[in-house]
Amino acid sequence: MAKRGKKYIEVRSKIDSQKKYTFDDALGLVLDNAYAQFDESVDVALRLGVDPRHADQMVRGSIVLPHGTGKTTRILVFAKGEKEKEARDAGADYVGAEDIAEKIQGGWLDFDKVIATPDLMGVVGKLGRVLGPRGLMPNPKLGTVTFDVAKAVAEMKAGRVDFRVDKVGVLHCAVGKVSFGREKINGNLKALLEMIMKLKPSSSKGTYLKSVAVSSTMGPGVRVDPVEVSLLLK
pLDDT by residue, tens only, the chain of 234 residues: 467 788 888 888 999 988 999 988 999 999 999 999 999 999 999 999 999 889 899 999 889 999 999 888 899 999 999 999 999 999 999 999 999 999 999 999 999 999 999 999 999 999 999 999 998 999 998 889 999 999 999 999 988 888 999 999 999 999 999 999 999 999 999 999 999 999 999 988 888 999 999 999 999 999 999 888 877 777
Q: Are residues 168 and 218 in the same domain?
A: yes
Select from 213, 173, 209, 232 the least CA-distant residue to 21.
213
Number of domains in the chain: 2
Q: Are residues 168 and 224 in the same domain?
A: yes
Burial of 138 (0-12, 13-18, 19+ CB in 10 A): buried
* 184 within domain boundaries: yes
Q: Are residues 183 and 150 in the same domain?
A: no
Whole-model pTM: value is 0.81
How many H helices and E strands in the chain? 9, 9
* 4 within domain boundaries: no
In the chain the first and final C-alpha atoms are separated, in Å, by 41
- Look up the domain containing 110 and give its range: 75-157
Q: Are residues 87 and 115 in the same domain?
A: yes
Q: Are residues 101 and 120 in the same domain?
A: yes
* 81 within domain boundaries: yes
Which CATH number covers residue 91? 3.40.50.790
- Number of residues written out for the chain: 234
Q: Are residues 176 and 227 in the same domain?
A: yes
